[in-house]
Amino acid sequence: MKRNDGSSAAKNVWKESSKGCVHPEEMRIWDPQTGEVICRRCGEVIGNEPVMVSKIRHDEKLQTYLNRTKLNIGTLPPEGRERTEIIVSNIAAKICSDLALPRHIVDQAAAHARRILRASRGTKHRVTLNEAAVAGVICACKESRHPYILKRIAEAVGMDPNGVYRLLARISRFYQLPKTVIPPERYVRFIGARLAKKGIDPHYLSLTEQYACRILRMEGEAASKAPLYAAAEALAAADERMAHMIGCERIAEIIGAVANGSFAKNIRRLKNSQVTPPVEAMEYVIQAFWEG
């Protein structure tokens, strides 16, 4: 299936930026209201099958059908969008109820879920209403310093814990999550998994990840406030202090950033870290010296 909006660039945005998601069949969802086929892994709209779309949108007798939607309808008119925000608030409240969370977290979770939904409209990616609600609950718990267990939240909504991390990583592309909702170290593994698919030496990549995590723990204040960018900067700094086998351009490409400006400045700050590279990396340093 091909999108009928004529935008070939939009179709391949995620694939071009990460080259890591191939939209496996089991991760695809079809939204009958918009006709969009959405990848649950990366959020990209990968197809468009406009069956019944205009009929559902414009026939008042079928408007109640929108109340049962499971997806963020980014193309709905404003009056339809308000309805989905009510639904996502109710979903967030139910998750909080199932987890026996206090009332103040319920209100915060609903507010975060609505804001996530609004932020996703007009972006290259989508989130389902359930996904927005789950992320809203996690944001509210973290913001309130409530001792939550991500695995327990994942079980309550029938998601894999790693899937929740992937979801939060995707949402962080268009919504500012509360600080440390996902530790930057977790994003290091997230980026590393995509670098592994680009043919980087696995042993060198493992050492780079370990070193980046140590830098973040010691020098994290010198990195970006956004955990995803902080992780990328730490990886680039670690790579440059070792054998420079990856390159900051390739790392920046993974997160859809440009390797200049504040990104480059933060890398330079992190390179001045007092944390020494792993001893095991010396063989790569020597190899780079003789080849360089």
List strand residue ranges (DSSP E) for the chain, in order. 28-30, 36-39, 45-48
Question: What is the largest distance, in Å, between two alpha-carbon atoms of the chain?
Answer: 74
Give the pLDDT band of residue 276 (cuts 50, 70, 90): confident
pLDDT over 70 (residue 191): yes
112-167 per-position pLDDT tens digit: 998 998 888 766 667 888 888 999 999 998 888 887 777 888 888 888 877 887 78
Tell me which CATH code domain 8-171 carries: 1.10.472.10
Counting residues of the chain whose pLDDT is more than 70, the rounded percentage is 75
- What's the CA gap between 90 and 76, in Å, rounded? 19
pLDDT at residue 30, rounded to an integer: 67
171: phi > 0 → left, psi -120 to 50 → alpha, else beta; which? alpha
pLDDT at residue 206, rounded to an integer: 92
- What's the CA gap between 202 and 195, in Å, rounded? 9
70-88 per-position pLDDT tens digit: 444 444 555 556 667 888 8
Closest CA to 184 of 219, 220, 211, 136: 220
The residues spanned by each domain of the chain are 8-171, 184-291
What average pLDDT score do residues 203-209 get?
A: 91
Q: What is the pTM of this model?
A: 0.50
pLDDT at residue 135, rounded to an integer: 92
In the structure encoding, which two tokens stand for residue 172, read together? 């962080």
Give the pLDDT band of residue 35 (cuts 50, 70, 90): low
pLDDT at residue 8, rounded to an integer: 42
